[in-house]
Structures are given as C-alpha cells and as structure tokens.
A and B are shown apart, each in its own frame.
Chain A
Amino acid sequence: GAGVSQTPSNKVTEKGKYVELRCDPISGHTALYWYRQSLGQGPEFLIYFQGTGAADDSGLPNDRFFAVRPEGSVSTLKIQRTERGDSAVYLCASSVHRGNTDTQYFGPGTRLTVL
C-alpha cells in the first residue's frame, strides 16, 4: 500500500521567502506528526495532529512556523520569512491513532535549503 508521501522532495528558497511543505499520510491514519532533522542530528518534534486539530505544537520553534490539516488528512507546514537556519529535512509521519506504542510511519522528507 501507499506510504507517507511528501512534496516537494527538495525546495530551495531565498531568505525571507514563504514556503509550504505538504504531507500526505497513510489513508485512515488519524494522527500526523511533523519533525525537523538538521544535518548530523536526529529528528526533532515540531507538531502533532489528531484529526484536524493540532493537539501539541510545543515543538514549533517560533511563530514563523505554522501547520494545518483542515480535513484531517493532508497537512501543510508553512514557514514565513524563512531564515538560513531553517535549512533542514522536514519529516512527516502518521500513525493509526494516537498512542504511546503506535508505530509512526515516516515519509521520505522534504529537504529545505534557504539561501
């Protein structure tokens, strides 16, 4: 079956621009997560959705970052006024439902480069 997909796979933008990163979770998965992975580091949690609502956004670094999931399926991570420090791989994951032991299935990521 189809896994988690993310588009685009690569995004190059200039400092100060606005970008949107898209995540298509596995069909039927109610929980969706965004992580950011910087070079040489493990993924860092950004935000978690249960259905349409952001249940935990404690990992968003500042108010330039925002994410939505209006219909409880596809999610978009939005970054305003991008900075060079935002360059990283942005990972999306989904799970059947929220639970400590639920397996999170990860997409291949979007590599964001801010020049």
Chain B
Amino acid sequence: AQSVTQLGSHVSVSEGALVLLRCNYSSSVPPYLFWYVQYPNQGLQLLLKYTSAATLVKGINGFEAEFKKSETSFHLTKPSAHMSDAAEYFCAVIGKTGNQFYFGTGTSLTVIP
C-alpha cells in the first residue's frame, strides 16, 4: 500500500525566510513522489516530481525536494519565501497500479510580510 503523511497542517514563515514543508511516504514498491500546489479557487498545479532519477529534484518557482530513502522522506524546500507562495501544498505518491495518486492532507503555507 502507498500513503504519504504531511507533518504540519499549517506553516507560517516570514517573507525571505526558508520554506520547509515535510512529507514522509510509505510504499510497498519504489515510489514516485509529487508535490502539487493549490491556490485559492484554482486547480492543483504540479511543482515537481521524483521518478527515480536524480534524488534532488528542482521544480517551478524556486522549489526543490530531496528524496531520502533512508528517511522515507520527500520534503519540499525553498530558500526564500515570497508572498506569492502562500497556498496549500500537497504531497502525493503514485499507487502501485500507476492509476491513482494518494495525497497527503495538505499543508497551508502563510507568508508573513
């Protein structure tokens, strides 16, 4: 079975500070992992994905994530937060059949000016 756990349903950072959103996964097969962002009243947008190539994955808007098998983690980071980063962030793992995502419960990021 596959699942992801996002630690911290709400995270607040100051503008310009490091953003760290945590995601731990559980998977019975080598996982493919994704981070999506959801802005208010908009659809989910892919930030980045890990598909067993490089363990450090760079995405859009300056975000990156590192796959750490020993820690079963795929944390999302950004060196310097912008006001426009305020949104809901979802980590997801692809299911064994490859047909469906298993999403975490999401982390709401607030950026304080």
Residues of chain A at the chain B interface (Cβ within 8 Å): 3-4, 33, 35, 40-45, 48, 55-56, 59, 91, 93, 98-101, 103-109
Contact B51 A4 (CB under 8 A): no
Residues of A within 8 A of B97 (CB): 56
Q: How far is the CB of A29 from chain B (nearest CB, A)?
A: 14
Docked Cα-Cα span, A35 to B101, in Å, equals: 9
Main secondary structure, interface of A, reads: loop
Residues of B within 8 A of A40 (CB): 9, 105-106
Give the residues in chain B near A104, CB-CB below 8 Å: 46, 101
Interface of B toward A, CB cutoff 8 Å: 9, 32, 36, 41-46, 49, 51, 90, 92, 94-95, 97-106
CB pairs A–B below 8 angstroms (6 shown): A42-B104, A45-B99, A56-B97, A98-B99, A101-B94, A106-B36
Residues of chain A contacted by B103 (CB below 8 angstroms): 42-44
